[in-house]
Structure 1
């Protein structure tokens, strides 16, 4: 290879401007909570390249130069999420005559949000505990009923009809399903 061949650049080579545009788009998507894949798609359209080429360039070259900016963008996204969560709490707890939600966050706002969150969490824990106790009680009842069905003569209980057992089983199943749904919703 001669020295002339070394200085010839490819027509499809990435320019520093392309790298900056790619980085700005990816950082914007990180800040907004969007995916890097969407950023690569948008960059592909803007830069006239494929999405895969943009992803390859970002991961192979550009990302290394923007580590601090990436961390800052992630922090901005987290701050934005906390801010929007606090706004939701304020909106649900406020009336139209109170201060505007768009005002700066104060320590009082943050503390209020955290206290509300803690109260809701404790309420859900209590509810889950109650459901667990109910579940244990019902499991014990099932055990007793099974003993009655299997050994009716050794049981100290009165005999239960198959219809009653069927009804009890259906009721128990419905309660367990509801408890399961509530536990899933609380997590």
Structure 2
């Protein structure tokens, strides 16, 4: 049958084109084969189907094309892993029913979502983690406060030590001064005892003394 050019594309024609291209991508076939299949179904040329796909239809199904490519990769990976098992399986009979591209895309998205495992968030684990985090923060705060107290106490002890050292040095100087004064007093008393004179009746007269600026005693004459 000679294929004729038809300019008008209906919505159903675009859906059939999209469904066929997605199926061929998903099954690992080429888009050229999909265009040939659609051309046979719609009595159009393969080139016309390819032009329609690239110019109008593809941009509406970009996400579906990416999903179909991912499913093709997953299918090849699964076939490589389960090759021994596939020989024992019987293929499902073809029912001849044709689903719309929209239903097939929704099914693909649902299948993709079901295959992607979403980690479950354990509320109890989150609460325990937050509690442990709060405990660690409290412990860190307590350690920091204790360190600040120890640092302040150490500084206070250092200042007290300096004060005691100054007081000790001052006491040492006072002790030396007291010792010098005591020795001077002893010397004064010794000189005074030697200067006592007795009168003729045997009584002694108490001499009077005055102290000079240099610390010596001088007897005052009566």
Using the size of structure 2 for normalisation, the TM-score is: 0.35
Task: Name the structure with the higher helix share.
Answer: 1
Task: Name the structure with the higher strand share.
Answer: 2
The higher radius of gyration belongs to 2
Using the size of structure 1 for normalisation, the TM-score is: 0.42
